[in-house]
A and B are shown apart, each in its own frame.
Chain A
Amino acid sequence: MADNHADFIVLGAGPGGYACAFRAADLGHKVVLVDPRATLGGVCLNEGCIPSKALLHAAEIIREARHGNDWGISTGNISVDLDTLRARKDGIVAQLTDGLRGLAKRRKVQTVRGSARFTGTNTLDIDGTAWSFDQAVIAVGSAPVRLPGWPDDPRIWDSTDALDLREVPKRLAIVGGGIIGLEMATVYAALGAQVTVIEFMDQIAPGADAEAVAILRTALEAEGIAIHTGTKVTNVKAAKSELKLMCEGGFAGEIKADAAIQAVGRRANGHLVDPHAAGIDLDERGVIHVDETCRTSVEGIFAIGDVTGNPMLAHRATHQGHVAAEVASGHAAALDTDLIPSVAYTSPELAWVGLTQNQAKERGVAHKVASFPWAASGRNLSSGGGDGLTKLVYCPETSRVLGATIVGRNAGELLAECILAIEMGATLEDIALTVHAHPTLSETVAFSAERALGTLTDL
């Protein structure tokens, strides 16, 4: 007999888990939210999206200060006090996680600190305490992949360690040129490290538009970041004085570093909850498969977020969290879209959604491309922005927008218009005929559309 019973229990308090718990509470459930951390918010808030954005903002301040000379503004030597910066970052995290605690309290969501494992189809063990439940949601997220064969050494970090901001190494090697790796490169390069990014695939930010990525790469290299694509790390030696990374492929040779970050992706945490005990299968990547209503193969148990596989992004998890809560409450909800945006908060930012030009070519989808170079954007030039590009992929027959990629300052914010346009089935004409404020970066979206329609007068 279980000691405790939950009407609705959510395992994991990340952006998916807390959104699910809060939505379920709003729909009238008595909700229990379980997480091993002392604070709510999961990886995203505590050691992911939010702290990294704080550090990226600091990097931006440093860069702006350095470029101040171009505008006749000199700031003298820039010095960074790591303790203050770390405290500022931790303060932002604390402010947000405290806020979540308040939101949970207001909804009478019971939070339980601990690690949950299934013991049956409607029973759980949370750190030795038996629980029974009517409905459960697995939202235990993902963890950084550890590369096999690497030595055990405190100078080898994962993204969590990197965000701790213990020190700024003189030479930093980052293995993995995806979004996380590139953001870390941006931060540490600004803080003064000599950064080398090593990416196995032929381009950094694999999967993103090649033309946009080339602009990003040039900008990162201009900040002193060395980038080696098509390169594999074959061996790592932890010598006393330094780390030695043997590489082959695009770059062949040895890279010496004082610290190295492994940023080669994330692995689903499915195994943590022992789903087999509930009759739920895990695939070989630790992923629990769900349908668009977030149901697992077992009635009454849902899964959301990174644990359900790619794309492992907080905003997907949040939407799935709402879907699971609604479906569990008898509503006909579903994650009824393929449009999950990706944003790299690098400098410049890179953001994309829907079909990319490369994908359209590979899949043989009839498409055309509308684009606008930011060198012709008054707002970009007058705010000190560098090179950038807005690019829309559209259907030549209907002129409906199928995908969008933006590289440049604030690309992540600008993308929202494109996502909405695609969701609404908007055509190039719809976008071109929508009055965009001048001068703004958002104009580049309208200009792209006008350019394809032949109505552009700004180029």
Chain B
Amino acid sequence: MNDVIAPPSVRALAREKGIDLQHLAERLGRSSITREDLVSGSSPAKAPAGDTSYWDVEHAAYGPVSEEPTSRFAQVASANLSAANTLIPQVTHHDRAEVSAIEALRAELKPEAQARGIKLTALAFQVKALARALREFPRFNASLSVDGQMLILKDYVHIGIAVDTPHGLMVPVVRNVDRKGLWQIASEIADLAARAGQRKVGPDEMGGASMTITNLGGIGGSAFTPIVNPPEVAILGITRTEIVPQWDGAAFQPVSMVPLDLSYDHRVINGAEAARFTSYLAGLLADPRRIMV
């Protein structure tokens, strides 16, 4: 007997559309599938309102092209991103944090990290610092009810980690970051990222985050504007750490600076709050001892 509950007509439609019901149910985190799921799940993402007919171009008229069907995974992500970008008024606040102390600490702990077999990444510090900041600024650890009537404040700190995988962007979540040490956080991030790459992250390991971090530092860039991942109200983008000259009153000193890009839902958070939040976060990153106290 099928594990997925679907009426015969829905099973027939799925067969016609070449949709694996077991797969779809897993992806939707559900035990039953209806006709609507097949129709919305298999159709391409809804285009934004307005006339898009000018997008429909005969590309081959301009030179050779090849076609690659988009995966259902990509189609769902596409629909979600369109909705987030269209429906949420977002602002991105840019700041940067001095991370020389973290760099020094990481260098110092390298032998221990090797001994533990854990790579103590800058991301682990950023996740821990963000958790601390979320406890300090509860409105960032919140979600707006769908009707906009209620702000739901969360008394837990789970951080989503955007992971680039061959099949698309995935966001596994590290739970209760505020109650975990750096070693554990680093090791959980490594484990989740590796399994996300193999598409082996369970449905219970995604969703429910307080906020998401998307770190492009390993690739490059000096700033970007990430899109808020609803129902979260903010997302922290991070790009490559650079050594920049800083005037200490007498001379320029070389310091390591990491760019911070905080996109937030302006319905919940105003610009001043965002600036204070980012500034506080930068302070924590500049002096990692403060993360702990």
User: Which A positions have Cβ atoms within 8 angstroms of B?
Assistant: 331-334, 336-338, 354-355, 398, 400, 402, 423-425
Contacts and interface: CB of A to CB of B under 8 A. Distances in A.
Contacts of B11: 336
Interface stretch (B1-9, B144-152, B160-168, B246-254): B1-9
A448 B12 CA distance: 31
A332 B18 contact: yes
Given A333-B15, A424-B7, 19 more contacts: A331-B16, A332-B15, A332-B16, A332-B18, A333-B12, A334-B15, A336-B8, A336-B11, A336-B15, A337-B8, A338-B1, A354-B1, A398-B31, A423-B8, A424-B8, A425-B5, A425-B6, A425-B7, A425-B32
Interface in B80-139: none
Contacts of A423: 7-8
Contact of A336 (B5, B12, B18, B31): B12
Interface of A is mostly: loop
B35 to A, nearest CB: 12
Contacts of B1: 338, 354-355, 402
Interface string B1-39: 100011110011001101000000000000110000000
Nearest to B21: A336
Nearest to A423: B8
A320 B123 CA distance: 58
17 contacts: A331-B16, A332-B15, A332-B16, A333-B15, A334-B15, A336-B8, A336-B12, A336-B15, A338-B1, A354-B1, A398-B31, A400-B5, A402-B1, A423-B7, A424-B7, A424-B8, A425-B32
A338 B3 CA distance: 13
Contacts of A334: 15
A398 B181 CA distance: 40
Contacts of A424: 7-8
A91 to B, nearest CB: 36
Chain B interface category by residue count: 10 to 19
A423 B16 CA distance: 18
A425 B11 CA distance: 12
B73 to A, nearest CB: 22
Contacts of A337: 8
Contacts of A402: 1
Contacts of A398: 31
Contacts of B8: 336-337, 423-424
A19 to B, nearest CB: 17
A396 to B, nearest CB: 15
Contacts of B15: 332-334, 336
A61 B78 CA distance: 68
A62 to B, nearest CB: 40
> Top 5 closest A-B pairs, CB basis?
A425-B5, A332-B16, A332-B15, A424-B7, A336-B11
B18 to A, nearest CB: 7
A390 B8 CA distance: 24
A336 B70 CA distance: 28
Nearest to A400: B5
A336 B1 CA distance: 10
Contacts of B7: 423-425
Contacts of B5: 400, 425
A400 B31 CA distance: 12
Nearest to A293: B15
Contacts of A332: 15-16, 18
A355 B6 CA distance: 18
Nearest to A403: B1
Most buried by B among A354, A355, A400: A400
A418 to B, nearest CB: 14
Nearest to B31: A398
A372 to B, nearest CB: 24
A187 B120 CA distance: 83
B62 to A, nearest CB: 35
Nearest to A336: B11
B3 to A, nearest CB: 11
Nearest to A422: B1
Contacts of B16: 331-332
A400 B5 CA distance: 10
A336 B5 CA distance: 13
A6 B125 CA distance: 74
Most buried by A among B12, B16, B31, B32: B12
A333 B8 CA distance: 11
B9 to A, nearest CB: 10
Nearest to B17: A332
B24 to A, nearest CB: 15
A332 B14 CA distance: 9
A354 B2 CA distance: 12
A392 to B, nearest CB: 15
Contacts of A400: 5
A420 to B, nearest CB: 9
B7 to A, nearest CB: 5
A338 B11 CA distance: 13
A423 B5 CA distance: 8
Contacts of A355: 1
A398 B8 CA distance: 19
Contacts of B31: 398
Nearest to A398: B31
Nearest to B1: A338
A331 B8 CA distance: 16
A173 B7 CA distance: 45
A331 B12 CA distance: 10
Contacts of A336: 8, 11-12, 15
A400 B2 CA distance: 12
A254 to B, nearest CB: 46
A287 B255 CA distance: 80
A398 B5 CA distance: 11
A237 B16 CA distance: 58
Nearest to A331: B16
A425 B15 CA distance: 18
A258 B281 CA distance: 99
A392 B5 CA distance: 18
Nearest to A402: B1
Contacts of A333: 12, 15
Most buried by B among A331, A338, A402, A423: A423
